Amino acid sequence: MIGLIARRVLGALPNLLGIIAITFLLTRALPGDPAAFYAGPAGTQEAVEEVREKLGLNRSLPEQFWIYVKDLGSGNLGQSLSTGQAVIQELRMRLPASLELVFLALALAISIAIPLGVMAARHPNSWIDHLCRLVTTAGVSLPTFFTGLLLTYVFYFLLGWAPSPIGRLDPFLTPPSAITGIYTIDSLLHGDIVLFRACAAQLCLPVLTLTVFVLAPLARMTRGSMMAVLSADFVRTARASGLASPTILVRYALRNALLPVVTTVGMVFSFLLGMSVIVEKVFAWPGVGSFALDALVASDYAPVQGFVLTMALLYTLLNLGIDILYVVIDPRVQLTK
Amino acid sequence: MAVTTFWGQARATARENPFTLVAAAMFAGFLLIAIIGPWIVPFEPLASNAAQALTPPNAQHWFGTDSLGRDIYSRVVVATRVDLSIALSAVAFSFVVGGFLGAIAGFWGGRIEQTVMRLCDMVMSFPLFVLAMGIVAALGNSVFNIILATAIVNLPFYVRVARTEVNVRREAGFVEAARLSGNSDWRILLHHLIPNALPPMMVQVSLNMGWAILNAAGLSFIGLGVSPPQAEWGILVAEGASYIISGEWWVALFPGAVLMLAVFTFNFLGDGLRDLTDPRRRT
């Protein structure tokens, strides 16, 4: 098993190289002269030359690529022109905010979608199946920004249940001192229940917005995959042997139906990372996405590239985790590959 | 014969899933609006009227007016053409380039196939929307680059479909026959193999259209691509976003709802088309 996991990790290396190659290309494809760009609008001719020398822009492309890789290795993603900080610093500070959003939404979506899909497959054409169908077709068609604004209008303006959509915490409260950087966890670690509730309330709408979007593919895949498994012979045999219905459903059917669902989780994570940018904008959430957007508006490209790279690395990491999860769920994977 | 079975199956699909028919009708409606939109709008979409700013929906302004007093209904109607043409051009680009790359990869295999598939894997290892953002940021903020970015992130899906379709028929009897009668490789590819790959690729197109619209609108929502005075669904929603918390819901929600309706239409149409061409994959 360890050997297998090691092989999976090695298998992700070409992917990593691809990511670095593409982000490098994106760096070089900057409109205009990157050196003039990094020197800033006030840069003189000498300053531009100096930057060109410093960035190695006067060397050949392979050499430049090597410099780029070396910089990445030492965690140098460049400077943000608008904030004056190192990009890596900013990303590290803001990443917990984004992760909190994305992983909570993923967890919520999975915990709704799987039972929904299983029940829909168990009772085809029942009301729950129709509900599942409605959720799956409506969910993928909802633009995230539309859902977010609709939820804000209903739950903040009309009902007054949600706090105003202005970031992670009410401006009158002080955030918990950083341990993980994830406010809800930090406030719990400090034992501050009031603060925890304030953070959680702030999270509700953005997480819900993301969940609605990714619920659909997960529920659809669970339903389809469960339908196929439930009509298999071994399920009939289990049923004929008199096993209890929940046992058959969960221990026999679900475990076999789970592989394609886990694959879909990977796909859905890609959506989540993308859509989190939009959700962060709608809810003024200070994550990496809104950092990249602010930079983009100010034509400050280093943060955008750092952001793209971070997201791609996160995605690769999650896919690696999923690859390893396959083996845990289905030991047969080990034998065939 | 082929025609009757196709229509027979179309009727069966429509009977079983009446939503497909509704979606087809709505698709026709969207197309019509995209074509004649600018001539049927009751107000000039760019004309501001400060006296009428932020009026709620009424008989005169069906969708209300925005902060500059512009008629939102007119702006939403005019935006249809912009959004549909961005999505259509992006999808057409992925269709042609992806189809071609996939076909040569599936036909010749070997080094070509490895290179093409490796490139696809590289694109697929990014979260797609994030990569689209990165591409637009790097190439510059313009409508053309939005189209290009949307096309590039969708390319792998078309490459895969085309490659599989060409690959499974590479050794088929009719291909051997064509080769024996002296047709060149390119001729076989263009006249015998690619036409056979078209139906599943068309399904991919309709499944992809909804996503392409969402992607393009999402990019303009965050401030890329189409620039503000022009009407585009994503921008219209972005313009209205700040009025949501003060209760002027119509500014953002009407354009958002129309965008949702368009994506809905394409998704249903895509599902129906897939059922039509490949009943086995029906869910």
pLDDT in tens, A102-144: 999 999 999 999 998 888 888 877 888 888 888 887 777 788 8
CA–CA gap between residue A67 and residue A65 (Å, rounded) = 5
The verdict on domain B19-42+64-282 having CATH code 1.10.420.10 is: no
CA–CA gap between residue A306 and residue A80 (Å, rounded) = 10
- Mutate which of A145, A212, A267, A307 to disrupt the B interface (most B C-beta within 10 Å)? A145
- The Cβ of residue A30 has, within 10 Å, a number of other Cβ atoms equal to 20
Query: Residue B142: closest CA among chain A residues belongs to which residue?
Result: A31
Report chain A residues whose CB lies below 8 A from the CB of B259.
143, 146
- The Cβ of residue B203 has, within 10 Å, a number of other Cβ atoms equal to 22
Do the chains contact at A144 and B218, CB–CB below 8 Å?
yes
Residue A173 in contact with residue A192, Cβ under 8 Å?
no
Do the chains contact at A165 and B245, CB–CB below 8 Å?
yes
Whether residue B114 is predicted with pLDDT greater than 80 in this model: the reply is yes
Q: Which residues of B106-127 are buried (b: 16+ CB within 10 A; e: fewer)?
A: bbeeeeebeebbebbebbbbbb
pLDDT in tens, A41-91: 666 777 777 777 766 666 777 777 888 788 788 777 777 777 778 888 888
Residue B75 in contact with residue B236, Cβ under 8 Å?
yes
Query: Residue B130: closest CA among chain A residues belongs to which residue?
Result: A274
- Residue in the structure block whose two tokens are 């969940």: A211
pLDDT in tens, B204-219: 887 788 888 888 888 8
Nearest-CA neighbor of B187 among B107, B114, B112? B107
The verdict on domain A88-165+205-329 having CATH code 1.10.3720.10 is: yes
Chain B 152-191, residues with CB within 8 Å of chain A CB atoms? none
A45 exposed, middle or buried (CB, 10 Å; 0-12, 13-18, 19+)?
A: exposed
CA–CA gap between residue A162 and residue A198 (Å, rounded) = 10
pLDDT in tens, B100-113: 998 888 888 888 88
Whether residue B282 is predicted with pLDDT greater than 60 in this model: the reply is no
pLDDT in tens, A162-183: 777 777 777 777 777 777 777 7
Sorted by sequence, the CB contacts under 8 Å of residue A140 that are 6+ apart come out as A213, A216, A217, B210, B263, B267
Residue B155 in contact with residue B95, Cβ under 8 Å?
no
- Comparing CB atoms, the residue among A140, A153, A315 nearest residue B253 is A153
Residue B163 in contact with residue B199, Cβ under 8 Å?
no
Chain B 201-220, residues with CB within 8 Å of chain A CB atoms? 210, 214, 217-218
CA–CA gap between residue A285 and residue A279 (Å, rounded) = 8
Q: Please indicate if any CB of chain A lies within 8 Å of the CB of B267.
A: yes
- Comparing CB atoms, the residue among B132, B222, B264 nearest residue A141 is B264
Angle between helix axes A255-282 and A87-122 (nearest 10 degrees) is 130
Sorted by sequence, the CB contacts under 8 Å of residue A31 that are 6+ apart come out as B138, B139, B140
Residue A209 in contact with residue A144, Cβ under 8 Å?
yes
Identify the helix (H) or strand (E) that includes residue A38.
helix A34-39
The ipTM of this complex is 0.83
pLDDT in tens, B42-68: 777 776 776 776 677 777 777 777 777
- Comparing CB atoms, the residue among B118, B134, B257 nearest residue A308 is B134
Q: What share of chain B is helix, strand, coil (3-state, %, to 5)?
A: 80, 0, 20
Whether residue A316 is predicted with pLDDT greater than 50 in this model: the reply is yes
Amino acid found at A151? L
- Comparing CB atoms, the residue among B128, B134, B260 nearest residue A304 is B134
Query: Residue A300: closest CA among chain B residues belongs to which residue?
Result: B137
Provide the mean pLDDT of chain A.
Answer: 81
Amino acid found at A137? T
Domain boundaries, chain A: 2-73, 88-165+205-329
pLDDT in tens, B240-273: 778 877 777 777 788 888 888 888 888 888 777 7
Whether residue A336 is predicted with pLDDT greater than 60 in this model: the reply is no
Say what the pLDDT of residue B186 is. Answer: 85
Going by the DSSP 8-state scheme, the letter that residue A242 receives in this structure is T
CA B50 to mean position of chain CA atoms: 36
Residue A197 in contact with residue A95, Cβ under 8 Å?
no
Residue A222 in contact with residue A121, Cβ under 8 Å?
yes
